[in-house]
A and B are shown apart, each in its own frame.
Chain A
């Protein structure tokens, strides 16, 4: 059997630009596939991805479920005898998926390079300036610092973020549908006796995501495991807090309970918010340190890595500073920093499907699908 290979040279260049710059160094020894603790028995990764990449086999790569099974611990790159950095290639392929899976595609382009960062910043910056102009005419209100004086919940914040949420959800419904179709195209189809998708999803969340067990399997990178775990649970905590506040706010509006922000510092929900915020900071310190100290011979950080880390840092710092200035009664600083907090939160969530944070959805779906089709590591 012969296969005619038609190399997509443009695609090779795109992979190199997205973080896979060393892919041509690979000489196909397959050390990576063996070293990877997550790689399956049949058609293991990432050796095959390396040759697909060298040969510009775009069709194979864009439909490849294995890029999502990789948790980027970097052990393959540590052992790679040629410095070909297979883990960076898989990260680059994921970056390309963030860029191209969701629509509108222009956002993918804007999210792919630092050149477009000003646009991404200016959109929420103007949006929230308009809100500020409409509420207090861009002035600092007198009296007790209450952020809703400048950024009214009912009139502005909730509508904006509810719209953002709907936008993100519909974007993902579309892109996840494309992703699952691409897996099927690659020949990965669940057999008749496979568990259902939702059951697999539940099992993945319970057995893998909540425990971070796959990160632990990559024994050499404990810093990454801890960092990701703390950031993950930091976000879970903040999600609970936000959900609680939103529910309580609307319950208050309908007169079911009596609720007003800011909550007292000793309120358990407020405590959870602060603990989660601190977990985020510690986790961020871990992953930032890991990325800064990374040996350039083993891995190169991409813009996608830094955008996400940078935005989360900005969200956390502005969040804490807003609280501190509020408690210190520094009104001007408090409102301005809170404004920046809203801008960065918008940058984190509205662009989520095109950022590295989209792995939250794509990886989860891919892991559930992998479970459904029985694709698992050699020792699972």
Chain B
């Protein structure tokens, strides 16, 4: 008799979708998420396709569905360390890192007020700071603070423990491990941005005013480090001229060989962020080919109507910084015009690539992967990839693949 429970690795949009689809037809589902919150990359965005909703919209509904459904159990700060067994009968070892904050937490923020230690916010891609104890983000689910054990001074300090009226903080919490029995597994481990410091000719990670597209999302998001104001990291100046560099690290055998599917659309979306705040700002999008999949072409057409958004065919291959002004000199060949030009911008956004989150080795499941690391099999084992663990996708298509994976998982455990 096979176990009818389903494990979902990854609690981003795909993982949540897959979990809910399976739970709402009666299966017990476990979500294992390594971050302290569910929602994944979508939670970091200002708006997401197709309808340019803020993440509060789609995620909030899904969090409600999780809360109302006793069959969904989620573990944050958790990792799958070992999987054994066969389709219909898997034994899964889960390791949970200490959060140091229990469910008594009311998010009153008193602990943050007294915490003496600051850290770079990974959620904000190092553009903002949090204390060592912090709220993952303003719509975190679970809404519970967390302590970064890398920087916390521990029991030697313990100011937060004193400040907390709810006995929510336990600085001596230890890592723990437990076992789950499931019949099928959905892998929704998602993506991470490519390491831009490898893009040396574009000043990736070196020049302050050269941002990644995900950094721009955080700058533009109302809960971001600048409260939603798009400004230059080096001096806080309002950008008047902004360049987008498409295919920054993608479709490139020296970096990642594949097209990352949604970066063209992301840059077009970013034009709307910029236009909203700066009606006169000039934008130049440097591209090899603009790829607007399916109905997204309508969105491309809309942005093309903006007279101050110029689209130049020709990839940027060099960015240098004027160290006194912080301005950026971008070199590209305008292919249609046949001219190699240097142009000056206040800010440059690299449309960087999605890369599979799980590294080639060191993932508990041994699944067939393509040369880029995307999962391309596992069905025969009753293991199904969903979302960007499979290929670079937008949110909508990720959700579709998640539903598909849930169906496959259900068929596996009901056999």
Shortest B331–chain A CB gap in Å is 5
Q: How far is the CA of A260 from the CA of B128 in the complex (A)?
A: 83
Are A40's CB and B340's CB within 8 A? yes
Interface residues of A in 4-63 (CB under 8 A from B): 27-35, 39-44, 47-48
Q: Is B57 an interface residue (CB 8 A)?
A: no
A33 to B335, CA, bound (A): 10
Question: Taking the complex as formed, is B192 at the interface, i.e. its CB lies under 8 A from any CB of chain A?
Answer: no
Decide if A81 touches B252 in the complex (CB within 8 Å).
yes
Q: Complex: how many Å from CA A40 to CA B331?
A: 12
Contacts of A310 in B (CB 8 A): none
Choose one: B253, B315, B340; the contact of A29 (CB below 8 Å): B315
Q: Is the CB of A29 within 8 A of B288?
A: yes
Whether the pair A30, B315 counts as a contact (CB closer than 8 A) is yes
Chain B hits for A41, CB < 8 A: 339-341
Minimal beta-carbon separation of B29 from chain A (angstroms): 41
Q: Which residues of A contact B82 (CB under 8 A)?
A: none
The answer for the CA separation of A242 and B187 in the assembled complex, in Å, is: 75
Q: Mark B328-341, 1 if CB is under 8 A from A, else 0.
A: 00011101001111
Candidates A34, A78, A81; contact of B340 at CB < 8 Å: A34
Q: Is B347 an interface residue (CB 8 A)?
A: no
In the complex, which residue of chain B has the Cβ closest to the Cβ of A82? Answer: B253
Contact A34–B253 (Cβ < 8 Å): no
Chain B contacts with A in 296-338, Cβ cutoff 8 A: 314-318, 331-333, 335, 338
Please state if B318 and A30 are interface contacts (CB–CB under 8 Å).
no
Interface centre among B317, B335, B341 (most CB of A within 10 A): B317
- Whether the Cβ atoms of A44 and B340 lie closer than 8 Å is yes
Give how many A residues have a beta carbon under 8 Å from the other chain's beta carbons.
24
A39 contacts across to B, CB distance below 8 A: 340
- Residue B155 interfacial (CB < 8 Å): no
Cβ–Cβ < 8 Å partners of A44 in chain B: 333, 338-340
* Cβ of B110 under 8 Å from chain A: no
- Rounded to whole Å, the gap between the CB of A377 and the closest CB of chain B is 10
Min CB–CB distance B198 → chain A (angstroms): 13
A35 touches B339 (CB 8 A): no
- CA separation between A41 and B318, bound complex, in Å? 15
- CB contact list, B210-268 vs A, under 8 A: 247, 251-255
A60 to B: closest C-beta gap in Å: 13
Q: State how many angstroms separate the Cβ of A81 from the closest Cβ of chain B.
A: 3
Closest residue on chain B to residue A51 by CB atoms: B335
The distance in angstroms between the C-alpha atoms of A18 and B341, with both chains bound, is 32
Known A-B contacts A28-B288, A30-B333, A35-B201; the reply to A43 vs B314 at CB < 8 A is no
Nearest B residue to A35 via CB reads B317
CA distance A83 to B255 in the complex (A): 12
Contact B253 A81 (CB under 8 A): yes
- A123 within 8 Å of B by Cβ? no
Task: Tell me, rounded to whole Å, the shortest Cβ–Cβ distance linking A70 to chain B.
Answer: 14
CB distance from B57 to the nearest CB of A (A): 36
Task: List chain B residues, Cβ under 8 A from A32.
Answer: 317
Residue of A nearest to B254 (CB): A81
Can you name the residue of chain A whose Cβ is closest to the Cβ of B316?
A34
| CB-CB nearest in chain B for A83 | B253
| A48 nearest CB neighbor, chain B only | B338
B288 / chain A contacts, CB cutoff of 8 Å: 27-29
Most buried by A among B201, B314, B331: B314
Interface status of B122 (Cβ within 8 A of chain A): no
| A139 CB, nearest partner CB in chain B, Å | 62
**Of B251, B316, B335, B338, which contacts A81 at CB under 8 A?**
B251
**Which of A30, A43, A44 is the most central at the interface, judged by chain B CB atoms within 10 Å of its CB?**
A30
A278 to B36, CA, bound (A): 67
Would B315 and A42 count as touching, CB distance under 8 A? Answer: no
Is B370 interfacial (CB-CB < 8 Å)? Answer: no
Decide if A174 is an interface residue (CB 8 Å cutoff): no
Which chain A residue lies CB-closest to B315? Answer: A29
**A29 smallest CB distance to B (angstroms):** 4
B252 to chain A: closest CB distance in Å? 3
| A29 CB contacts on chain B under 8 angstroms | 247, 251, 288, 314-315
| Interchain CB contact (< 8 A) of A35 among B253, B255, B318, B338 | B318
Q: In the A-B complex, list the 3 residue pairs whose CB atoms are closest, starting with the nearest.
A: A81-B252, A34-B317, A30-B333
Residues of A within 8 A of B (CB): 27-35, 39-44, 47-48, 78-79, 81-83, 297, 378
A-B contact sample (9 more), CB < 8 A, given A29-B247, A34-B315 = A27-B251, A31-B317, A32-B317, A34-B331, A34-B340, A81-B252, A81-B253, A81-B255, A378-B331
9 A-B pairs with C-beta separation under 8 A: A27-B251, A29-B315, A30-B317, A40-B340, A42-B339, A44-B340, A48-B338, A81-B253, A81-B255
